[in-house]
Amino acid sequence: MQLSSNPNSSIPKALLLIAPFFLWGTAMVAMKGVIPFTTPFFMAGVRLVPAGILVLLVAVILKLPQPKTWQAWLWIIVFALVDGAMFQGFLAQGIVKTGAGLGSVMIDSQPLAVALLSSFLFGEIIGFWGWLGLSIGILGISLIGIPDHWIYGIFQGNLEVIELSWLGLFDNGEWLMLLASLSMAVGTVMIPFVSRYSDPVVATGWHMILGGLPLFGLSWLQESQQWLNITVEGWLALGYATVFGSAIAYGIFFYLASKGNLTSLSALTFLTPIFALLFGTIILSEVLTSLQSCGVFLTIISIYLINQREQIAAKFKSSTGESEDAISIENQRVN
């Protein structure tokens, strides 16, 4: 992904490149700000369905083909269930009990799961730097997701404090964020299969709508007073998360990906939690524990190593080769 040497054109291109990750990170902050005044499933549905309609309107304007075969609709429905309903459902429930910055870091840790799934399904080579990133990521996610008193209890030999129950796990916002991350990872590796039968942008729009409708159904069955307490600022926050954090962010992302920049674009994923942490601190005054801060730092490093593993390996090989050439030349001079 090369930027033009002309400063007048390179600056707008750079802003366009970071726009999806800025929008996703700040949308997390917007959702956290409005969640005290609404309900999780309703908020998740609002973020998906209107955004899907906007994406499909753009698809109509661009004259993109609509799905026609039963295979296309089957893949879109499964994609909607996993990457739409499950991802946004876990995300909305998890954000109730965790911070926007912390939640974004855990959501954007999904390349860890994507790397493993891609290696298993598509035979992708993770390599040394990829495995190093995965190892660091496991440590980082552990520091983020496991309660501090469990970790301190392990070091102090007090095993009673780390007795777990499945109910306890699902009462913890961080674990719900991990489930959301896993749902997003499975949805990501499904995209090549979905794209075989349907235009990916059109499939994205439909999967938002079809994934959002079950969330509205769950909201109708389990929640009440979904919108009665939402202030004007809250509706603006929901509108931002829907229009900018979903429709526009995904639109820009797919536009850049359609230009053949997917590999370079994916390397910018680590910017999302940075934006969320920055604006979560400024707007919501969130504070992380020392262990969680270390986990956040390690997770960001792991995401960077995984996304950039090929470039790092190439640079390391190049520098090693140059060193070996220099040694060979020096030996020739001595001889």
| Number of Cβ atoms within 10 Å of the Cβ of 133 | 26
> In angstroms, rounded to a whole number, what is the distance separating the alpha carbons of residues 207 and 233?
28
Domain extent, residue 237, equals 16-322
What CA dihedral angle connects 220, 226, 228 and 233, to 10 degrees? Answer: -150
Kindly indicate the confidence band of residue 185, based on its pLDDT and cuts at 50, 70 and 90: confident
* Structural domains in the chain (count): 1
Is 54 a member of any domain? Answer: yes
For 212-271, what is each residue's pLDDT tens digit? Answer: 999 999 999 999 888 988 999 899 999 999 999 888 887 777 667 655 544 446 656 667
**Residue 177: its pLDDT value, please?**
80
For 79-124, what is each residue's pLDDT tens digit? Answer: 999 989 998 888 888 877 776 556 666 666 676 677 777 777 766 6
Is 295 a member of any domain? Answer: yes
**Residue 299: its pLDDT value, please?**
76
Higher confidence at residue 219 or residue 6? Answer: 219
How is residue 145 written in tokens?
A: 């997701």
Is 6 a member of any domain? Answer: no
**Residue 4: its pLDDT value, please?**
44
Is 332 a member of any domain? Answer: no
CB 270 within 8 A of CB 24: no
How is residue 167 written in tokens?
A: 């109910």
Kindly indicate the confidence band of residue 334, based on its pLDDT and cuts at 50, 70 and 90: very low
How is residue 38 written in tokens?
A: 């609404």
pLDDT of 9 over the 60 cut: no
Averaged pLDDT of the chain? 77
**Residue 263: its pLDDT value, please?**
45
Instruction: Please give the model's pTM, rounded to 2 decimal places.
Output: 0.73
Is 7 a member of any domain? Answer: no
Is 42 a member of any domain? Answer: yes
What is the percentage of the chain residues whose pLDDT exceeds 70? Answer: 68
Is 76 a member of any domain? Answer: yes
What is the percentage of the chain residues whose pLDDT exceeds 90? Answer: 20
* Nearest-5° Cα angle at 161, 160 to 165: 90
How is residue 1 written in tokens?
A: 């992904």
pLDDT of 293 over the 70 cut: yes
How buried is 228 (Cβ within 10 angstroms: 0-12 exposed, 13-18 middle, 19+ buried)? exposed
Higher confidence at residue 279 or residue 45? Answer: 45
Is 331 a member of any domain? Answer: no
